[in-house]
Protein backbone atom coordinates (compact mmCIF):
# COMPACT_ATOMS: atom_id res chain seq x y z
CA UNK A 1 0.00 0.00 0.00
CA UNK A 2 1.24 3.47 -0.84
CA UNK A 3 0.55 6.56 1.29
CA UNK A 4 1.20 9.84 -0.51
CA UNK A 5 2.04 12.52 2.08
CA UNK A 6 4.02 11.88 5.28
CA UNK A 7 2.29 14.59 7.31
CA UNK A 8 0.70 13.81 10.68
CA UNK A 9 -2.29 12.03 9.10
CA UNK A 10 -0.26 9.91 6.65
CA UNK A 11 2.18 8.92 9.39
CA UNK A 12 -0.70 8.05 11.76
CA UNK A 13 -2.11 5.68 9.16
CA UNK A 14 1.28 4.02 8.61
CA UNK A 15 1.65 3.46 12.37
CA UNK A 16 -1.92 2.23 12.79
CA UNK A 17 -1.17 -0.42 10.11
CA UNK A 18 2.13 -1.48 11.69
CA UNK A 19 0.72 -4.80 12.93
CA UNK A 20 -1.22 -5.59 9.74
CA UNK A 21 0.12 -7.88 7.01
CA UNK A 22 0.16 -4.93 4.56
CA UNK A 23 3.47 -3.58 3.29
CA UNK A 24 3.21 0.19 3.60
CA UNK A 25 5.38 2.81 1.88
CA UNK A 26 5.06 6.53 2.68
CA UNK A 27 6.22 9.05 0.12
CA UNK A 28 6.56 12.81 0.56
CA UNK A 29 7.65 15.60 -1.72
CA UNK A 30 9.55 17.40 1.05
CA UNK A 31 12.81 16.33 2.75
CA UNK A 32 12.47 14.29 5.95
CA UNK A 33 11.92 16.61 8.93
CA UNK A 34 10.67 19.58 6.85
CA UNK A 35 7.88 19.97 9.40
CA UNK A 36 10.44 21.54 11.80
CA UNK A 37 9.63 24.93 10.22
CA UNK A 38 5.86 24.68 10.67
CA UNK A 39 4.65 27.54 12.90
CA UNK A 40 1.24 26.03 13.87
CA UNK A 41 0.18 24.68 17.22
CA UNK A 42 -2.76 22.28 17.26
CA UNK A 43 -5.49 21.78 19.86
CA UNK A 44 -5.86 18.02 20.25
CA UNK A 45 -9.00 16.46 21.69
CA UNK A 46 -8.67 14.11 24.63
CA UNK A 47 -9.86 11.32 22.29
CA UNK A 48 -6.95 12.10 19.92
CA UNK A 49 -4.51 11.78 22.80
CA UNK A 50 -5.88 8.30 23.48
CA UNK A 51 -5.43 7.23 19.85
CA UNK A 52 -1.88 8.62 19.72
CA UNK A 53 -1.05 6.85 22.99
CA UNK A 54 -2.16 3.57 21.46
CA UNK A 55 0.38 4.20 18.68
CA UNK A 56 3.10 5.09 21.24
CA UNK A 57 3.29 8.49 19.59
CA UNK A 58 1.98 10.76 22.33
CA UNK A 59 4.58 13.44 23.07
CA UNK A 60 3.91 14.08 26.78
CA UNK A 61 6.51 16.83 27.43
CA UNK A 62 5.32 18.79 24.37
CA UNK A 63 1.64 18.85 25.40
CA UNK A 64 -0.05 21.55 27.47
CA UNK A 65 -3.37 20.52 29.01
CA UNK A 66 -6.41 22.81 28.57
CA UNK A 67 -8.18 23.12 31.92
CA UNK A 68 -11.00 25.39 30.77
CA UNK A 69 -12.22 27.32 27.73
CA UNK A 70 -13.76 30.77 27.94
CA UNK A 71 -16.03 31.56 24.96
CA UNK A 72 -17.28 35.11 24.31
CA UNK A 73 -17.95 37.67 21.59
CA UNK A 74 -16.41 41.10 21.25
CA UNK A 75 -18.86 43.97 21.54
CA UNK A 76 -21.77 41.75 22.63
CA UNK A 77 -23.15 40.15 25.74
CA UNK A 78 -23.06 36.45 26.63
CA UNK A 79 -20.13 34.24 27.55
CA UNK A 80 -19.64 30.70 28.71
CA UNK A 81 -16.96 28.79 30.57
CA UNK A 82 -16.41 25.09 29.90
CA UNK A 83 -14.22 23.37 32.49
CA UNK A 84 -12.59 19.93 32.52
CA UNK A 85 -13.63 19.55 36.15
CA UNK A 86 -17.31 19.68 35.22
CA UNK A 87 -16.75 16.57 33.06
CA UNK A 88 -14.48 14.76 35.52
CA UNK A 89 -11.71 14.89 32.91
CA UNK A 90 -8.02 15.64 33.48
CA UNK A 91 -8.20 18.09 30.56
CA UNK A 92 -10.62 19.27 27.86
CA UNK A 93 -7.83 18.81 25.34
CA UNK A 94 -4.17 19.53 24.76
CA UNK A 95 -2.10 21.99 22.77
CA UNK A 96 0.98 20.84 20.91
CA UNK A 97 3.15 22.32 18.18
CA UNK A 98 2.65 20.69 14.79
CA UNK A 99 6.39 19.99 14.65
CA UNK A 100 6.39 18.17 18.01
CA UNK A 101 3.42 16.05 16.96
CA UNK A 102 5.09 15.21 13.62
CA UNK A 103 8.42 14.42 15.31
CA UNK A 104 6.77 11.96 17.75
CA UNK A 105 5.05 10.16 14.87
CA UNK A 106 8.17 10.18 12.68
CA UNK A 107 10.24 8.65 15.49
CA UNK A 108 8.17 5.47 15.08
CA UNK A 109 8.49 5.28 11.27
CA UNK A 110 11.43 3.28 9.92
CA UNK A 111 13.75 4.55 7.18
CA UNK A 112 12.55 1.73 4.86
CA UNK A 113 8.94 2.91 5.23
CA UNK A 114 9.60 6.48 4.08
CA UNK A 115 10.70 7.86 0.72
CA UNK A 116 11.11 11.67 0.94
CA UNK A 117 11.83 14.17 -1.92
CA UNK A 118 9.49 12.49 -4.42
CA UNK A 119 7.68 14.28 -7.17
CA UNK A 120 4.71 12.48 -8.66
CA UNK A 121 4.32 12.46 -12.44
CA UNK A 122 1.17 10.43 -12.82
CA UNK A 123 -1.16 7.87 -11.27
CA UNK A 124 -2.81 5.13 -13.33
CA UNK A 125 -5.48 2.91 -11.83
CA UNK A 126 -6.98 -0.35 -13.07
CA UNK A 127 -9.19 -3.17 -11.82
CA UNK A 128 -6.27 -5.04 -10.24
CA UNK A 129 -3.92 -2.33 -8.96
CA UNK A 130 -2.64 1.25 -9.26
CA UNK A 131 0.70 2.49 -10.57
CA UNK A 132 2.39 5.67 -9.53
CA UNK A 133 5.18 7.19 -11.63
CA UNK A 134 7.49 9.57 -9.79
CA UNK A 135 10.92 11.13 -9.71
CA UNK A 136 13.07 10.29 -6.72
CA UNK A 137 16.56 11.80 -6.33
CA UNK A 138 16.71 12.54 -10.05
CA UNK A 139 15.69 9.03 -11.14
CA UNK A 140 12.28 7.97 -12.48
CA UNK A 141 10.49 5.22 -10.51
CA UNK A 142 7.28 3.24 -11.00
CA UNK A 143 5.58 1.79 -7.94
CA UNK A 144 2.59 -0.54 -8.12
CA UNK A 145 0.22 -0.97 -5.18
CA UNK A 146 -3.22 -2.40 -4.46
CA UNK A 147 -4.25 0.90 -2.88
CA UNK A 148 -3.00 4.49 -2.99
CA UNK A 149 -3.95 6.61 0.03
CA UNK A 150 -3.82 10.36 -0.54
CA UNK A 151 -2.74 12.21 2.62
CA UNK A 152 -0.98 15.11 0.92
CA UNK A 153 -2.82 17.87 2.76
CA UNK A 154 -4.92 20.75 1.44
CA UNK A 155 -5.84 20.10 -2.21
CA UNK A 156 -5.14 22.55 -5.01
CA UNK A 157 -7.67 23.08 -7.78
CA UNK A 158 -9.56 19.88 -8.46
CA UNK A 159 -13.05 19.60 -9.96
CA UNK A 160 -14.04 17.11 -7.23
CA UNK A 161 -13.21 19.56 -4.42
CA UNK A 162 -15.85 22.13 -3.46
CA UNK A 163 -14.40 25.35 -2.05
CA UNK A 164 -15.93 28.02 0.17
CA UNK A 165 -13.49 30.87 0.59
CA UNK A 166 -13.99 32.51 4.01
CA UNK A 167 -12.16 35.66 2.94
CA UNK A 168 -10.18 35.35 6.16
CA UNK A 169 -6.55 34.64 6.97
CA UNK A 170 -5.23 33.20 10.23
CA UNK A 171 -2.16 34.86 11.72
CA UNK A 172 -0.41 32.49 14.11
CA UNK A 173 2.15 33.47 16.73
CA UNK A 174 3.26 32.50 20.22
CA UNK A 175 2.80 35.34 22.71
CA UNK A 176 3.62 35.67 26.41
CA UNK A 177 0.61 36.74 28.53
CA UNK A 178 0.49 38.44 31.89
CA UNK A 179 -0.87 37.27 34.23
CA UNK A 180 0.05 33.61 33.48
CA UNK A 181 -2.62 31.63 31.62
CA UNK A 182 -3.24 28.94 34.24
CA UNK A 183 -4.18 26.58 31.36
CA UNK A 184 -7.24 28.57 30.33
CA UNK A 185 -7.97 28.79 26.57
CA UNK A 186 -9.99 31.66 25.09
CA UNK A 187 -12.21 31.61 22.03
CA UNK A 188 -13.30 35.15 21.27
CA UNK A 189 -15.58 35.88 18.35
CA UNK A 190 -15.03 39.21 16.62
CA UNK A 191 -16.57 40.68 13.46
CA UNK A 192 -13.21 40.02 11.70
CA UNK A 193 -13.30 36.33 12.64
CA UNK A 194 -12.55 34.16 15.68
CA UNK A 195 -9.54 34.84 17.88
CA UNK A 196 -8.23 31.78 19.76
CA UNK A 197 -5.65 31.79 22.55
CA UNK A 198 -4.41 28.30 23.35
CA UNK A 199 -2.12 27.66 26.34
CA UNK A 200 1.25 26.33 25.18
CA UNK A 201 4.03 26.05 27.76
CA UNK A 202 4.22 29.48 29.40
CA UNK A 203 2.82 31.16 26.28
CA UNK A 204 -0.35 31.38 24.31
CA UNK A 205 -0.48 30.06 20.77
CA UNK A 206 -2.61 32.70 19.05
CA UNK A 207 -4.81 32.11 16.01
CA UNK A 208 -5.84 35.63 15.03
CA UNK A 209 -8.37 35.54 12.19
CA UNK A 210 -8.83 38.67 10.06
CA UNK A 211 -9.69 39.70 6.47
CA UNK A 212 -6.78 39.23 4.01
CA UNK A 213 -5.80 42.93 3.76
CA UNK A 214 -5.67 43.27 7.54
CA UNK A 215 -3.60 40.06 7.72
CA UNK A 216 -1.03 41.49 5.32
CA UNK A 217 -0.80 44.62 7.47
CA UNK A 218 -0.48 42.62 10.72
CA UNK A 219 2.38 40.57 9.29
CA UNK A 220 4.32 43.77 8.53
CA UNK A 221 3.98 45.34 12.00
CA UNK A 222 6.84 45.44 14.46
CA UNK A 223 6.39 43.26 17.57
CA UNK A 224 5.15 46.08 19.82
CA UNK A 225 2.51 47.22 17.33
CA UNK A 226 1.41 43.62 16.71
CA UNK A 227 0.91 43.06 20.46
CA UNK A 228 -1.07 46.31 20.65
CA UNK A 229 -3.29 45.15 17.75
CA UNK A 230 -3.82 41.80 19.48
CA UNK A 231 -4.79 43.55 22.76
CA UNK A 232 -7.19 45.78 20.86
CA UNK A 233 -8.90 42.73 19.34
CA UNK A 234 -8.89 40.65 22.53
CA UNK A 235 -9.87 43.25 25.13
CA UNK A 236 -8.51 44.17 28.51
CA UNK A 237 -8.54 40.94 30.48
CA UNK A 238 -4.92 40.06 29.65
CA UNK A 239 -1.76 41.87 28.64
CA UNK A 240 0.69 40.51 26.13
CA UNK A 241 4.35 41.26 26.77
CA UNK A 242 6.35 39.41 24.08
CA UNK A 243 5.78 37.65 20.77
CA UNK A 244 7.58 35.12 18.60
CA UNK A 245 7.55 35.13 14.78
CA UNK A 246 4.24 35.40 12.90
CA UNK A 247 2.92 33.43 9.89
CA UNK A 248 -0.28 33.68 7.86
CA UNK A 249 -2.62 31.00 6.43
CA UNK A 250 -5.49 31.70 3.99
CA UNK A 251 -8.69 30.00 5.19
CA UNK A 252 -11.26 28.13 3.12
CA UNK A 253 -13.46 25.10 3.46
CA UNK A 254 -12.39 22.49 0.89
CA UNK A 255 -14.48 19.38 0.67
CA UNK A 256 -13.77 16.42 -1.59
CA UNK A 257 -17.07 15.04 -2.83
CA UNK A 258 -15.89 11.44 -3.30
CA UNK A 259 -13.30 10.25 -0.78
CA UNK A 260 -12.79 6.97 -2.65
CA UNK A 261 -12.27 6.14 -6.31
CA UNK A 262 -10.89 3.11 -8.11
CA UNK A 263 -7.86 1.97 -6.03
CA UNK A 264 -7.57 5.36 -4.30
CA UNK A 265 -8.74 6.91 -1.03
CA UNK A 266 -8.36 10.45 0.39
CA UNK A 267 -7.87 11.18 4.11
CA UNK A 268 -7.03 14.14 6.37
CA UNK A 269 -6.84 17.64 4.95
CA UNK A 270 -6.75 16.13 1.51
CA UNK A 271 -10.33 14.89 2.03
CA UNK A 272 -11.53 18.00 3.90
CA UNK A 273 -9.76 21.16 4.92
CA UNK A 274 -11.63 23.05 7.64
CA UNK A 275 -11.43 26.49 9.22
CA UNK A 276 -9.23 26.20 12.34
CA UNK A 277 -11.98 27.53 14.65
CA UNK A 278 -12.58 25.03 17.46
CA UNK A 279 -9.55 22.98 16.34
CA UNK A 280 -11.27 20.14 14.49
CA UNK A 281 -9.05 19.59 11.38
CA UNK A 282 -6.28 17.30 12.54
CA UNK A 283 -8.54 15.59 15.08
CA UNK A 284 -10.86 14.65 12.21
CA UNK A 285 -7.93 13.58 9.99
CA UNK A 286 -6.62 11.38 12.79
CA UNK A 287 -9.99 9.65 12.96
CA UNK A 288 -9.92 9.22 9.15
CA UNK A 289 -6.57 7.43 9.44
CA UNK A 290 -7.69 5.34 12.41
CA UNK A 291 -10.95 4.29 10.78
CA UNK A 292 -9.22 3.36 7.51
CA UNK A 293 -6.75 1.17 9.42
CA UNK A 294 -9.64 -0.46 11.30
CA UNK A 295 -11.64 -1.05 8.11
CA UNK A 296 -8.61 -2.64 6.45
CA UNK A 297 -7.83 -4.78 9.50
CA UNK A 298 -11.44 -6.01 9.70
CA UNK A 299 -11.72 -6.81 6.01
CA UNK A 300 -8.27 -8.25 5.29
CA UNK A 301 -8.98 -11.73 6.64
CA UNK A 302 -12.03 -11.99 4.34
CA UNK A 303 -10.71 -9.86 1.50
CA UNK A 304 -6.90 -9.77 1.09
CA UNK A 305 -7.12 -7.04 -1.59
CA UNK A 306 -6.78 -3.71 0.32
CA UNK A 307 -8.09 -1.71 -2.64
CA UNK A 308 -11.16 -3.87 -3.35
CA UNK A 309 -14.27 -1.73 -4.08
CA UNK A 310 -16.17 -3.30 -1.16
CA UNK A 311 -13.41 -2.29 1.28
CA UNK A 312 -13.36 1.28 -0.03
CA UNK A 313 -17.15 1.52 0.09
CA UNK A 314 -17.14 0.33 3.73
CA UNK A 315 -14.57 2.99 4.59
CA UNK A 316 -16.52 5.79 2.85
CA UNK A 317 -19.70 4.78 4.69
CA UNK A 318 -17.93 4.72 8.03
CA UNK A 319 -16.70 8.32 7.63
CA UNK A 320 -19.88 9.94 6.41
CA UNK A 321 -21.43 11.11 9.72
CA UNK A 322 -18.19 12.26 11.34
CA UNK A 323 -17.10 14.21 8.26
CA UNK A 324 -20.44 15.88 7.71
CA UNK A 325 -20.89 16.65 11.42
CA UNK A 326 -17.43 18.18 11.82
CA UNK A 327 -17.76 20.26 8.66
CA UNK A 328 -21.22 21.54 9.62
CA UNK A 329 -20.10 22.36 13.19
CA UNK A 330 -17.03 24.32 12.06
CA UNK A 331 -18.60 26.03 9.07
CA UNK A 332 -21.70 26.95 11.10
CA UNK A 333 -19.63 28.63 13.82
CA UNK A 334 -17.60 30.66 11.29
CA UNK A 335 -20.66 31.86 9.42
CA UNK A 336 -22.73 32.65 12.50
CA UNK A 337 -20.02 34.53 14.34
CA UNK A 338 -17.91 36.29 11.68
CA UNK A 339 -20.08 39.35 11.11
CA UNK A 340 -21.27 42.47 12.88
CA UNK A 341 -24.95 42.35 11.94
CA UNK A 342 -26.68 43.67 15.15
CA UNK A 343 -29.62 41.18 15.23
CA UNK A 344 -27.16 38.32 14.79
CA UNK A 345 -24.89 39.76 17.47
CA UNK A 346 -27.92 39.74 19.78
CA UNK A 347 -28.83 36.16 18.78
CA UNK A 348 -25.24 35.06 19.39
CA UNK A 349 -25.37 36.64 22.84
CA UNK A 350 -28.52 34.65 23.56
CA UNK A 351 -26.78 31.52 22.25
CA UNK A 352 -23.77 32.04 24.52
CA UNK A 353 -26.10 32.76 27.44
CA UNK A 354 -28.04 29.58 26.67
CA UNK A 355 -24.75 27.63 26.59
CA UNK A 356 -23.96 29.02 30.01
CA UNK A 357 -27.38 28.46 31.57
CA UNK A 358 -28.51 25.27 29.88
CA UNK A 359 -26.05 22.46 30.72
CA UNK A 360 -27.16 19.95 27.99
CA UNK A 361 -26.20 22.46 25.31
CA UNK A 362 -22.86 23.14 26.97
CA UNK A 363 -22.27 19.39 27.33
CA UNK A 364 -22.84 18.96 23.60
CA UNK A 365 -20.13 21.52 22.75
CA UNK A 366 -17.82 20.20 25.48
CA UNK A 367 -18.15 16.60 24.29
CA UNK A 368 -17.24 17.70 20.77
CA UNK A 369 -14.10 19.35 22.16
CA UNK A 370 -13.19 16.30 24.24
CA UNK A 371 -14.19 13.42 21.98
CA UNK A 372 -14.85 14.85 18.51
CA UNK A 373 -17.37 12.74 16.60
CA UNK A 374 -18.61 10.90 19.64
CA UNK A 375 -20.40 14.10 20.62
CA UNK A 376 -23.04 13.27 18.02
CA UNK A 377 -26.04 11.31 19.17
C1 LIG B 1 -3.69 28.18 11.44
C2 LIG B 1 -4.15 26.77 11.60
C3 LIG B 1 -4.45 26.29 12.87
C4 LIG B 1 -4.90 24.97 13.02
N5 LIG B 1 -5.24 24.54 14.26
C6 LIG B 1 -5.72 23.28 14.42
C7 LIG B 1 -6.07 22.81 15.72
O8 LIG B 1 -6.01 23.52 16.71
N9 LIG B 1 -6.51 21.50 15.83
C10 LIG B 1 -6.63 20.69 14.74
O11 LIG B 1 -7.06 19.54 14.91
N12 LIG B 1 -6.29 21.11 13.51
C13 LIG B 1 -5.85 22.38 13.32
N14 LIG B 1 -5.49 22.80 12.07
C15 LIG B 1 -5.59 21.86 10.95
C16 LIG B 1 -4.37 20.93 10.86
O17 LIG B 1 -3.19 21.68 10.72
C18 LIG B 1 -4.54 20.00 9.68
O19 LIG B 1 -5.80 19.38 9.74
C20 LIG B 1 -3.44 18.91 9.65
O21 LIG B 1 -2.17 19.50 9.52
C22 LIG B 1 -3.70 17.97 8.47
O23 LIG B 1 -2.69 17.00 8.42
P24 LIG B 1 -2.40 16.23 7.05
O25 LIG B 1 -1.34 15.22 7.37
O26 LIG B 1 -3.67 15.81 6.43
O27 LIG B 1 -1.83 17.37 6.05
P28 LIG B 1 -0.50 18.21 6.16
O29 LIG B 1 -0.21 18.55 7.57
O30 LIG B 1 -0.66 19.35 5.19
O31 LIG B 1 0.65 17.24 5.59
C32 LIG B 1 0.66 16.87 4.22
C33 LIG B 1 1.98 16.20 3.88
O34 LIG B 1 1.91 15.80 2.49
C35 LIG B 1 3.08 16.24 1.79
N36 LIG B 1 2.71 16.47 0.38
C37 LIG B 1 1.98 17.51 -0.12
N38 LIG B 1 1.82 17.37 -1.44
C39 LIG B 1 2.48 16.24 -1.79
C40 LIG B 1 2.68 15.57 -3.03
N41 LIG B 1 2.18 16.04 -4.19
N42 LIG B 1 3.41 14.44 -3.03
C43 LIG B 1 3.93 13.94 -1.88
N44 LIG B 1 3.76 14.53 -0.67
C45 LIG B 1 3.04 15.67 -0.63
C46 LIG B 1 3.52 17.48 2.53
O47 LIG B 1 4.91 17.71 2.33
C48 LIG B 1 3.18 17.12 4.00
O49 LIG B 1 4.24 16.43 4.61
C50 LIG B 1 -5.04 24.12 11.89
C51 LIG B 1 -4.72 24.59 10.62
C52 LIG B 1 -4.28 25.91 10.48
C53 LIG B 1 -3.95 26.42 9.10
Phi, psi of 352 (to 5 degrees): -65, -35
Is residue 93 pLDDT above 70, yes or no? yes
In a domain, residue 34? The reply is yes
Query: Cα(363) to centroid of ligand 1, in Å?
Result: 29
Phi, psi of 153 (to 5 degrees): 80, -165
d(CA 33, CA 102): 8
Number of structural domains found in the chain: 1
Which is it for strands 184-190 and 161-178: parallel, antiparallel or unpaired? unpaired
In a domain, residue 28? The reply is yes
Q: What is the CB neighbour count within 10 angstroms for residue 23? A: 12
Is residue 34 pLDDT above 90, yes or no? yes
In a domain, residue 258? The reply is yes
The reported pLDDT for the residue numbered 361 is 66
The reported pLDDT for the residue numbered 375 is 46
34 vs 342, more confident: 34
Contacts of 236 (CB under 8 A, 6+ apart): none
Q: Which domain holds residue 31?
A: 2-160+252-375
Is residue 341 pLDDT above 90, yes or no? no
Identify the CATH number of the domain in which residue 356 sits: 3.50.50.60
pTM, two decimals, is: 0.94
Q: What is the CB neighbour count within 10 angstroms for residue 293? A: 22
Query: Cα(181) to centroid of ligand 1, in Å?
Result: 27
The reported pLDDT for the residue numbered 161 is 97
CB 258 within 8 A of CB 160: yes
CB 162 within 8 A of CB 45: no
Contacts of 359 (CB under 8 A, 6+ apart): none
In a domain, residue 23? The reply is yes
**CA-only gyration radius of the chain, Å:** 21
Is residue 182 pLDDT above 50, yes or no? yes
d(CA 213, CA 149): 37
Query: Cα(306) to centroid of ligand 1, in Å?
Result: 25
Burial of 267 (0-12, 13-18, 19+ CB in 10 A): buried
d(CA 292, CA 170): 30
Indicate the average pLDDT of the chain: 91
In a domain, residue 238? The reply is no
Percent of the chain with pLDDT over 90: 75
| Residues within 6 Å of ligand 1 by CB | 4-10, 27-30, 40, 42-43, 118, 120, 151-154, 170, 172, 207, 249, 268-270, 276, 279-283, 285
Instruction: Render pLDDT for 45-85 as a digit per residue (tens, 0 to 9).
Output: 999 999 999 999 999 999 999 999 998 877 666 678 889 99
- pLDDT-derived band of residue 303, with 50, 70 and 90 as boundaries? confident
Instruction: Render pLDDT for 130-161 as a digit per residue (tens, 0 to 9).
Output: 999 999 988 999 999 999 999 999 998 999 99
- pLDDT-derived band of residue 334, with 50, 70 and 90 as boundaries? confident
Write the residue with the smallest CA distance to atom 20 of ligand 1.
282
Query: Cα(281) to centroid of ligand 1, in Å?
Result: 8
d(CA 230, CA 298): 49
3-class state of residue 28 by DSSP: coil
In a domain, residue 236? The reply is no
Is residue 314 pLDDT above 50, yes or no? yes
Percent of the chain with pLDDT over 70: 91
The reported pLDDT for the residue numbered 376 is 43
In a domain, residue 30? The reply is yes
In a domain, residue 246? The reply is no
Amino acid sequence: MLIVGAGPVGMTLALALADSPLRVLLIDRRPHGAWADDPRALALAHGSRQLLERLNAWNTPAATAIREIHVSQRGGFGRTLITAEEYGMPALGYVMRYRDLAAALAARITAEQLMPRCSIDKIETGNEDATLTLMHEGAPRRITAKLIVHAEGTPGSDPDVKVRDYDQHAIVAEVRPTPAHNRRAWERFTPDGPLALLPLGADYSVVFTVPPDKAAALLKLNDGDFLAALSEQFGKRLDFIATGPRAGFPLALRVRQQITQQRQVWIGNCAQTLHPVSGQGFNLGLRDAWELAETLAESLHRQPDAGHPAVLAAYARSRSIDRRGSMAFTDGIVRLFSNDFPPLRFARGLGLLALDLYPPLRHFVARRMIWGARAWP
